[in-house]
Amino acid sequence: MSDVAFRSAVEQLRALASGEVSSQGLVELYLERIATHNTALNAVITVDAERARREARAADAARAAGQDLGPLHGVPITVKDSFETAGMHTVCGRRDLRDHVPEQDAEAVKRLRSAGAVIMGKSNMPPGNQDVQADNPVFGPSSNPWDTTRTSGGSAGGGAVATAAGLAAFDFGSEIGGSTRIPSHYTGLYGHKSTWRSIPLIGHVPNGPGAGRWTEADMACGGAQVRDARDLVPILQATVGTADYDDGFSYTLAPPRATRLADFRVAVWSEDPSCPVDSDVAGAVDDVLTVLRSAGAKVVVQPAGLPADIATNQQAFLPLVYGAFTYDRTGLTPAPNAALLARLVQNPRGDAGPALRGTFQSHYQWLKAHTMRNELRQRWFEFFQDFDIVLMPVAPTAAPAHHNKLIDRFGRSYEVEGVRRPYWDQVKWNAVANISGSPATTIPVRRGRSGLPIGLQAMGPGGGDLTTIEFAALLGREVEGFVPPPAFR
């Protein structure tokens, strides 16, 4: 059964349909693995075993009666702790929500349940989604299953660990600047950021319960972390669609633009002076270039017509992301405020300055960034008339070591080829898709010098989720793909 724990969700769905396994059997397997391994990983911070067992029994009974509950019928999953779950703690890494138990599901959670998913528990994250690691004052940090001295990334780091270590079939999460893609890169998974607004985020609670559940943060998207790219298809089938209220927006999944690597038109963007990458990431790019060229794909490296460089993209991204975060002001307490001001004095050109300006910006300042975002989105729309995929790094390195600076967020750094770089560089390559609103899917390509996973991401046209997923699935067959962490087999 240990092999079953690491099967893709699609393979598990086939096994459930054939009667090889039952939903009850899968739930017991994952509950046992959580009991065995979660102490070392701290990935799953809330478990509702009895409810999961009841739902699994109901899923098995429905299948025996010939009823189809949906595309995720009977699959046991975890959900990022930023989504409301009725009757189950939703803490979002915040001390003020330590005892919060919602009375209703978030819209995406409701859709997952309606599609037959069995939600076993909640996965760890930073307070209010606002960090690049999964660590918070309520539950502590999640550790990377490839090396527990390393971070899992964030914000959906706990879910990535649970999926990579075989504690759940997959984790459903969210992101605003790489929160699904960064942890997937660090733990060797396929991670997906959906097209902006394709999955309603009603009940996604970084902004708090009550009226806050209706605040869908700018640029925030639903997503998931999986062991096989094609697992993302039933997840999107279950969750994509117009919200119940009528705001004039509708979304449907478009078919993939190509179904063979040879037929994809790929722009490879792997270098930018604002965010250099190390030799492991560069090596992964070289590996993929070899595969694509051998397959006969149209490949253009560093195309001249890219709509923006990293520095230009950041000019739009930083005001918008800090604007999105300002609704939740629970983190603006004396200790982090003092640390922010201290870092601003020490390094006026560092990351503390944009954070302070963005948190207290005027509406006019926000509108300037929004206008720039709209212009960049149009440029990307035009760019994707000639290309299907932009292949780029996820982060500059493999997973860095844990940082224990929950308060001093702008006092961190890490090294890229021996050169100290700002900790928040980890977000920069990801922010491109958050500004464009495009879907993006990570692909585990190889392991680096330290033995840690190295991934790349495929960004596609707005609405082209199935295009990036199909590309990731096809490419994943030709590179290393997902490998279970040896210590947790």
Number of H helices, E strands in the chain: 15, 15
pLDDT tens readout for residues 356-375 = 999 999 999 999 999 999 99
Separation between Cα atoms, residue 165 and residue 449, nearest integer Å: 21
Q: What is residue 257's DSSP assignment?
A: S
Domain residues of the chain, as ranges? 2-306+379-488, 310-374
Closest to 448 (Cα-Cα) out of 400, 383, 378? 400
Strand 147-151 relative to strand 143-144, pairing: antiparallel
Separation between Cα atoms, residue 40 and residue 286, nearest integer Å: 35
Strand 118-123 relative to strand 44-47, pairing: antiparallel
Low-confidence ranges of the chain (pLDDT < 50): none
Rounded to 5°, angle at Cα 279 from 229 and 188? 25
Separation between Cα atoms, residue 185 and residue 460, nearest integer Å: 18
pLDDT value for 450: 97
CATH no. of 2-306+379-488: 3.90.1300.10
Closest to 47 (Cα-Cα) out of 100, 109, 118, 121? 121
pLDDT tens readout for residues 38-89 = 999 999 999 999 999 999 999 999 999 999 999 999 999 999 999 999 999 9
pLDDT value for 201: 94
Query: If DSSP codes are grouped into helix, strand and coil, which group holds residue 23?
Result: helix
Indicate the average pLDDT of the chain: 96
Residue 34, CA atoms < 13 Å, CB-side half-sphere: 27
Q: What is residue 401's DSSP assignment?
A: B
How far from 377 is each of 196, 204, 221, 461, CA to CA, in Å? 12, 25, 16, 10
pLDDT value for 110: 97
Phi, psi of 221 (to 5 degrees): -140, 150
Separation between Cα atoms, residue 168 and residue 436, nearest integer Å: 31
pLDDT value for 159: 98
Residue 91, CA atoms < 13 Å, CB-side half-sphere: 23
pLDDT tens readout for residues 155-193 = 999 999 999 999 999 999 999 999 999 999 999 999 999
